[in-house]
A and B are shown apart, each in its own frame.
Chain A
Amino acid sequence: MLDRIELAEKNFKSEIESVIDLEKLEEVRIKFLGRKGLFTELFEEFKKLPKEEKPKYGQVLNKAKSSAQKNFDELKSKLENSTAEDKEYIDLTLAGRGVELGSKHILTQTLDEIKSIFKGLGFSIYEGPELESDHNNFEMLNFPPDHPARDMQDTFFVNDNFLLRTHTSPVQVRLMENSAPPIRALMPGKVYRNEAISAKSYCLFHQVEGLYVDEDVTFAELKGTLVAFLKQFFGEDVKYRFRPSFFPFTEPSAEVDVWWQQKGKEGKWLEILGCGMVDPNVLENVKIDNEKYVGYAFGMGVERIAMLKYGVGDIRTFFDNDKRFLEQF
């Protein structure tokens, strides 16, 4: 009996040594440790032994089997782990499966950034039509017919009474005609100027108009609001100036310049936005009491700001929509 136990142990060892995968291991298990395996057979025989002989073999057999079981368990877990590594070798250096995300146009992204700042300041967003009446685009905004101020905005006319809006300000008119103060709104949209297309100007661009009408709106608050915008948009250390200007629909009027310095180039003031206190004539035109209410308005060009912010030198690039440009943003 002892010999046979020893032989089983020896055979088990030699066979398990040559095992290289789980499949072979399982064969070995069945052969030795399975229900009909060698060790099980030995135990069956052991049971039949006379009582007095049992202690002599019992310990040896138990030891042999548990050692085999241990060997098997160790090898099994080793094989299981190593299988993952050996069999599932993958080339981690291969390119991943392409997933192309699209993007919003950089002008939209710039506008979104502007919108989100003003939304945070309590502004609603309104839109209006591009084909406008002369009445809404000019007259209601205090541009009398035959006034030199009309030369400030080269206009595409459809006829004497209709035109492509030259600014988003007619949305102000529509809004004020249809609602009562307080009105706090941001009005983005396309506007048109009858200018030759060049690196610096295009026949259309995007404007964002802001309007706030209430009882205690002041020029100082206009400044405060726009400075808050400039700091959020261009950074806390932005250098700016407000200087007097002229727009028929605001008085006093101002333009805001931002100091722009590119590496290795001379710095210069760049005009970023126009603003002012809503002209009392405009409030009167839309039937808002201009004694009680005061308002401010401002407007800025999205292209101009995007050109600055992203270093785009030619405005036409925005409208060429070359994919190699679009996918950069």
Chain B
Amino acid sequence: MKLSLNWLKQYIDLDGISTDEVVENLTTAGLEVDEVIDQKKLYDNFVVGYVKERTKHPNADKLSLCKVEVGGEEFPIVCGAPNVDAGQKIILAKVGAKIPNEDFTISKSKIRGEVSMGMICSERELGISNEHEGIMVLDENIESGTTFGEAFGMNDVIIDIDITPNRADAFSHIGAARDLAAVFGRKLKLPELNLIETDEDVNSIASVEIENKVDCPRYVAKVVKNVTIKESPKWLKERLTAIGLRPINNVVDVTNFILYEVGQPLHAFDLDQLAENKIIIRSASKDEKFITLDSKERKLLDTDLLICDADKAVAIAGVMGGENSEVTNNTKNILIESAYFRPSSVRKTSKKLGLQTDASIRFERGCDVDGTVFAAQRAAQLIAELGNGKIAKGEIDVYPNAIAKKQVSLRIGRIKKVLGFEIPIKKVKEIFSGLEFELVSDAEETLVYSIPSFRHDIEREIDLIEEIARIYGYDNIPEIAKIGVSVERRVDHSSFNDKARETLSGLGFYEIITNSLLNKELASKYGNPVGVLNPQSVEMSHIRPSLLPGLLSTISRNIKVKESNLKLYEIGHTIRKFNDVINDFSDFEETEHLLFAITGLAETDEWYSKKREFDFYDLKGISNSFLKSVTNSDRVKIKYNQNSEEGIFEYSISNLVGKNKFAEGGKVKSSILKEFGISQDVFAFDINLTELKKNIVVLSKFNELLKFPKIKKDCAFILDSNIDYNSVVKIIRANSSNLLKNVKLFDIFESESLGVNKKSLAFELSYYDEKKTLTEEEVEKEFWKAIDAVKVKLNAELRG
């Protein structure tokens, strides 16, 4: 909300307090200042000028060349406005002037060959309205050379504050002034009423009936007759334009003024448009339609509250009035509504209609139920003054169930328990009296306060403690840097992932973090995804059931910028649903995954290497090293999946603990890659971390170092080429004792010379005995036993 400093000064004496101090103290009191605009500074270099001469621009039909005189000096100006003419008084933005809201500074320039030393401004360029048809032409009596600020009373400072949802009371100049009064220890000056009423009783003119007393606890109406609708006086227009409102007419302007003065939204009805001069507050009927002031037809629900006359609806309560009863230039008699609507009712309606107004924001946060009469009276007085109207006697005040003021107690000891320091009771009492809280009792170390009706946020002891801290100033609260050592068990959910990340960094992988929202079609290919009801766009409507799409998009984007050799990984959550309707956490599964992928070249052409593309064995090697680093790998089993129809891989290996598969990796199907515009191979490995962490405890145990020599033996077999490596190893192992510690394949050789469809596999077998030095004979025995088994079982031939 925008505050005008000049306006604020009507309610609090700020003598001796600088603007900077006001700004700082608003912020430290919880009304955070977003922006401060000093009009004087804003309009530096904007001056009143006199157009002495206007000629056509020689090189452009739509431009004029003007000579503008400013206090004796003359400036050549090129102007594009159609209405510029000699003899006008205008506002000239001189060289160096900064155009408000546009972040653009006037400089000396040449426009189509003609020098221009400034710009003649439109209202929009001055930031005072949206008028941009032509330049603003001033009253000819204004002296040239006068600054724009002087000429238009632009000496205000505009302070834009953020109001948190709990502080409905601060949504007005008086509300903000009240906080400042409490902080500075000064008095809040409320406007005084001076009502001159006729003898005609308001009750004889109009009547109010509340049907829905729950949503409308109080409705106050006041009537002003014979009002002349006209332009508002300068002071009122200045107040409104200062905070960015457009003046309309004296009646509407007064209601807006009161809204920003005391925070009570008002509505002015044309009394003569109200059938039977009657106001009825009732719930809408289902599907009832209503045309609001903005000329839009709104469809309503029976939870919406309507203001009606004897025949028809005339306003949506607390949100917006209707066209059918608005104040026009022909209006004579006015009924002012000053009501209190139930906050959640207004909020529901405003949300549903997508219609948030200055009124609805205040009603939904809670207005001052006790302030309704004052607001109506003050509005009546101003309308009467500005429109020569006559105020009918009294007001209609329908308030069937008065809302009692809350009383809240504060135990003195609790202040220290929560805030951590002693604060003198005298200071506490000062703070509350500054905020207009009334002390009801003070006994047994407990203060009881009666809470003003505009403070909806104060209900409990802790709320009072917050008020103390807020007004005392958070900066004045000491910082206790004594931090106790905790003896409770430390838990670190992220330690496994931390280790995984370290390992992958060491393996040359970059971590990526991708958007977990995908479009439905894409997401659905990787699992049954959960959708959101209100996505920003259809491209981001479903939660990822897999990390793969994000990773492939990343690869694709990188290839486009010529970064095509990639080792990437992501750790993140994936979500898949089991049932279409989600009622419970068991209807979906949220699991944490780690996905890494390699693509492009493993080695590039360098002076020391030949280029080589990543292949499956790179992936397998990396996944082995990775799993070995983060798990006790002897429990992990491998399964080989050649030619899988299902799933995302052309071929893959899976890792299991017991029967639980927790990882799978392989060559990503090219049909999938094609969807991402990727034409190079991608090998990816996906680990379900949730599953992995459940099953595997990382426990590194020390193994005794070897004390006796290892004996290594080599052998090579000629085999049918469809026999895989693993079957050979299995047979070797099955036919060896535990002296055999390692089997290493060190060569694969395929050649016609071996015979048709034959290949040679060369192995190195390592033998070791923990207890003694092995003899050559023992090893020979073992070695030949294994060789014979391979020869027999796989029809192999021992080579060379």
Contact = CB atoms under 8 A, between A and B. Distances in A.
B536 A103 contact: no
Contact of B491 (A115, A126, A161, A251): A126
B610 interface: no
A323 interface: yes
A220 B421 contact: yes
A327 B365 CA distance: 49
B165 A243 contact: no
Contacts of B531: 158
Interface in A125-147: 125-127, 129-131, 133, 146-147
A184 B348 CA distance: 38
B419 to A, nearest CB: 5
B568 A131 contact: no
A211 interface: no
A290 B491 CA distance: 24
Given A148-B347, A203-B517, A223-B480, A102 B419 contact: no
A326 B32 contact: no
Contacts of A130: 516, 543, 573, 575, 590
Nearest to A279: B462
Contacts of B543: 130-131, 164
A244 B419 CA distance: 14
A151 B165 contact: yes
Contacts of B344: 146-147
B492 A125 contact: yes
Contacts of B511: 102-105, 108, 326
A159 interface: yes
27 contacts: A95-B606, A100-B508, A105-B511, A122-B486, A146-B344, A146-B348, A148-B165, A158-B533, A164-B532, A182-B486, A183-B488, A190-B516, A202-B515, A203-B517, A218-B419, A218-B480, A220-B419, A223-B474, A223-B478, A243-B30, A244-B30, A244-B469, A244-B474, A252-B462, A277-B462, A322-B563, A323-B558
Contacts of A195: 536
A277 B607 contact: no
A34 interface: no
A158 B477 contact: no
A43 interface: no
A124 B421 contact: no
B146 interface: no
A325 to B, nearest CB: 10
Given A102-B567, A321-B557, A327 B165 contact: no
Nearest to B563: A323
Interface string A228-247: 10000000000001111110
A144 to B, nearest CB: 8
B512 A321 contact: yes
Nearest to B502: A104
Given A221-B482, A223-B479, A280-B460, 10 more contacts: A130-B543, A156-B535, A161-B583, A185-B491, A203-B536, A225-B483, A242-B477, A255-B32, A321-B514, A322-B557
Interface in A109-133: 112, 115, 119, 121-122, 124-127, 129-131, 133
The main secondary structure of chain A at its interface with chain B is mixed
Interface string B148-172: 0000000000000000111100000
A318 B554 CA distance: 12
Contacts of A133: 585
A204 B516 contact: yes
Given A184-B488, A228-B483, A157 B534 contact: yes
Interface string B9-45: 0000000000000000001111010000000000000
Contacts of B166: 149, 246
A305 B419 CA distance: 28
Contacts of B475: 241-242
A112 B344 CA distance: 42
Contacts of A157: 532-534
B513 A319 contact: yes
B507 to A, nearest CB: 7
Contacts of A323: 510, 558, 561, 563, 566
Interface residues of B, number: 95
B479 A320 contact: no
Contact of B588 (A131, A149, A220, A221): A131
A242 B474 contact: yes
A126 to B, nearest CB: 5
Contact of B573 (A99, A190, A214, A243): A190
Given A194-B536, A319-B515, A243 B510 contact: no
Contact of B512 (A192, A254, A280, A326): A326
A98 interface: yes
A184 B512 contact: no
B37 to A, nearest CB: 15
Interface in B363-421: 364-365, 416-421
B480 A108 contact: no
A-B complex: 8 closest residue pairs judged by Cβ atoms: A218-B420, A220-B420, A244-B30, A246-B164, A252-B466, A321-B512, A102-B509, A242-B474
Interface of A: 94-95, 97-105, 107-108, 112, 115, 119, 121-122, 124-127, 129-131, 133, 146-149, 151-152, 156-159, 161-162, 164, 182-185, 188, 190, 192, 194-197, 202-204, 214, 218-221, 223-225, 227-228, 241-246, 251-255, 277, 279-280, 294, 318-324, 326-327
B165 A251 contact: no
A227 B481 contact: yes
B479 A244 contact: no
Contacts of B508: 99-102
Contacts of B572: 190
A97 B531 CA distance: 48
Given A103-B510, A228-B481, A194 B492 contact: no
Nearest to B588: A131
Contact of A146 (B347, B460, B573): B347
A197 B537 CA distance: 10
Contacts of B604: 98
Interface in B406-460: 416-421, 460
Given A125-B494, A294-B417, A246 B510 contact: no
B719 interface: no
B168 to A, nearest CB: 9
Given A162-B582, A164-B532, A104 B505 contact: yes
Nearest to B421: A220
Given A196-B536, A220-B421, A122 B512 contact: no
Contacts of B517: 156, 192, 203-204
Contacts of B493: 125-127
A105 B513 contact: yes
B278 interface: no
Contacts of A100: 508, 567
A97 B604 CA distance: 11
Residue from B470, B507, B532, B563 having most chain A Cβ neighbours under 10 A: B532
B52 interface: no
B582 A158 contact: yes
A245 B30 contact: yes
Contacts of A188: 494
A102 to B, nearest CB: 4
B483 A94 contact: no
A207 to B, nearest CB: 14
A324 B557 CA distance: 12
Interface string B481-499: 1111110111111110010
Contact of B165 (A95, A99, A149, A324): A149
Contacts of B540: 203
Contacts of B557: 320-322
Nearest to A124: B491
B463 A105 contact: no
Nearest to A254: B474
Contacts of A243: 27-28, 30, 32, 474
Nearest to A195: B536
A182 B420 contact: no
A123 to B, nearest CB: 8
